[in-house]
Chains A and B, each alone.
Chain A
Amino acid sequence: MTPNPYVFIVIFCGVALVFPLLPLALAWLWRKVFQPPKPGAQKNATYECGVESLGDAQIQFRSQYYLYAIIFLIFDVEAIFLVPFAVAFTGLPVGAFMSILVFLLLLIEGLVWAWSKGCLDWGK
């Protein structure tokens, strides 16, 4: 006779439960029988780099990082287009050359606009 195909899933679930629970149970037993737990203020501290944490984690930071990231992203994408452009430079038809120049011009225009708006002025 063939067993119900779902039996294997039940076995799988059983193993999946016992496999992590057994070490945890053994650790708990070890703690009870041999090694008493020794918690402490520093041992339970959240930050673990040897330096005491200062102040609150819920702080505001300037949104200017976001503008830098956006501008960086635009020119990152531009670099992806520029590399094949440079490779195929000598064999390009005039139309393709003009279109990549327009693409560059649009990006440069964006940079000029961001610059004139003072986005690159960190001290603002």
Chain B
Amino acid sequence: MAETSTQTTPQDVQKLGNPTSPALECSSISKRFKTIQALDNVSLTVPVGSIFGFLGPNGAGKSTLIRVVAGLIKADSGQFNILGRSSKTGHLVRKDMSALVDRADFYKNLSAYQNMKILGRLTGHDQDDHVNRLLDLLGLYGRRKDKVKTFSQGMKQRLGLAQALLPNPRLLVLDEPTTGLDPQGMHEIRDFIQKIATQQNVTIFLSSHLLHEVELICSDIALIFNGKLAAQGSMSTIFREIDAVTVELEVDDSTTALAFLEKSDLVSRITQLSNAISIEIQYKNIPELLRVMSATGINIFSASQRNRLENYFLSLMEGK
């Protein structure tokens, strides 16, 4: 019986990508625009299956890195791999990737359906049932024949997501996907991103300067300042590094709780709110405090951390 080789050759990786590789792996990417060093030796790794938040203030280099990965601009040096496929393969590196960079833009004189068909045709994903299924997934099926110029910004952003999903990507890159949306639109897009990640099994690489948004949906993050990567890792690992966090406690007897907290060495700052007590505490000490409070007979209904990422972000900024 002939023996079948199951080893993956380098040629296979170039053609098919490597399923065991990170979704995105950037190595020493630099890019300069005249006098501005937009990216300075940036290396990061996006694990498969994650919702990866790429954070930084405006002008930090988030969009530049995304544009390099999306093929819109060329890096001066460095390289990147997408699911094992090297950027040296040219446009083929983006075979399993799709991107929605900046705001979603369309041929406004065409309908949502026609816009989907035009893009789908580029990669052979323009079958009617596929296009209609995605429009349905993003809640646009009922408006598919309407011209895009009649759409609200939120609908355009959803249509942009539907277009990005056309080639059935394994990595979806989103650059500030909620910019310009009202709170309801932002909420919808966040829901869709989570839905896509879980239902479609897509790795999401998401840039944002909205820390709350990232904290809500991301499993991993990286932070960039002035074109340099400042930190990266899973959300839980990063939070463990945070020194002090703000926790809001909802208890049954606030007088007893306040008296207890004032005596505790674990707590550094206490503020009484209308229906809770806000305390500042080392992240690692939270379990111990809650255990001791319960043991002393204080009933804790909730203990919620506030703005963890913001604290972390600001501490890094101060350190720069």
A binds B: no
| Interface set of A (CB-CB < 8 Å, partner B) | none
| Interface set of B (CB-CB < 8 Å, partner A) | none
